[in-house]
Amino acid sequence: MTQSIISNQDRLIFAMDVPDCGAAKKLVEELDDSVNFYKIGLELMMTGEYFDLLDWMLERDKQVFADLKFFDIPATVGAAVSRLKNRGASFVTVHGNQSIMEAAAANKGDTMKVLGVTALTSLDRGDLDDLGFNCDIDELVLSRAKRALEAGCDGVISSGMEVAKLREQINTKLLVITPGIRPVDNKPSEDQKRVVTVTQAFKNGADYIVVGRPIRDADHPREAAEAIQDSIAGCFQ
């Protein structure tokens, strides 16, 4: 399984959801070696300094997950991924159907990995009904993951609640990155509706977890990150 070839320290991806690059850099410096991997997404993209921040982080030996959730016609997504592939990002996310994911996978280069989004952790059964999906969330995530694998994607974004079924039914080489992590029992929290604990995520088969607010909003972010790192280490003893 992919779980055995990843450094435990790299399994924690911090979601850098802050309003500007100054705040982002301050957090990177504060977290120091407690976090090696960072997710930077649309909020920071809109600052106009996204790639300057990406370069700054790479210079400090940090890994970057470009969570841009590309969704457009296949030619446009393919071109966007092609432009990104040489910027040093380790991961990029894409939405969409088979042809969109295929276009992304075909243009990712040799070092960047493409992750297909299955179902956002902010969605629950009622949301899927509103969107016209007449299936269980488990079924939707499994279908999306199978399509991502067939399209040539390297992995998927999936709630920890669905990871165990993915591991049972899909090639274990598929990377699974799990957001919606809370260091408490599974309860709805703010806009996240399908959440799990650190231990639950890795027990179910996640390769990486994405954690944002429990670190960012902690009184002492570095201590919060270190506590999560300790929990991760305990999962692989």
Reported as a single tens digit per residue, the pLDDT across 2-11 is 555 899 999 9
pLDDT in tens, 71-103: 999 999 999 999 999 999 999 999 888 999 999
Residue among 47, 43, 45, 64 at smallest CA distance from 55: 64
CA dist., res. 52 & res. 60, Å (int): 13
Is 69 a known active-site residue? yes
Consecutive H or E run containing 58: helix 50-59
Which of the pair, 210 or 2, is modelled with greater confidence?
210
Q: What is the pLDDT of residue 188?
A: 45
> Catalytic: which of 25, 26, 39, 69?
69
The pLDDT confidence band at residue 138, using thresholds 50, 70 and 90, is confident
Domains and their CATH numbers in the chain: 2-235 (3.20.20.70)
User: Does position 64 have pLDDT exceeding 50, yes or no?
Assistant: yes
Of the candidates 112, 3, 4, 2, the one whose C-alpha atom is nearest the C-alpha of residue 58 is 112
Q: What is the mean pLDDT of residues 122-139?
A: 62
Share of the chain above pLDDT 70, in %: 86
Q: What is the pLDDT of residue 130?
A: 62
Mean pLDDT (whole number) for 158-167: 88
Q: Quote the tokens at residue 231.
A: 């929990």
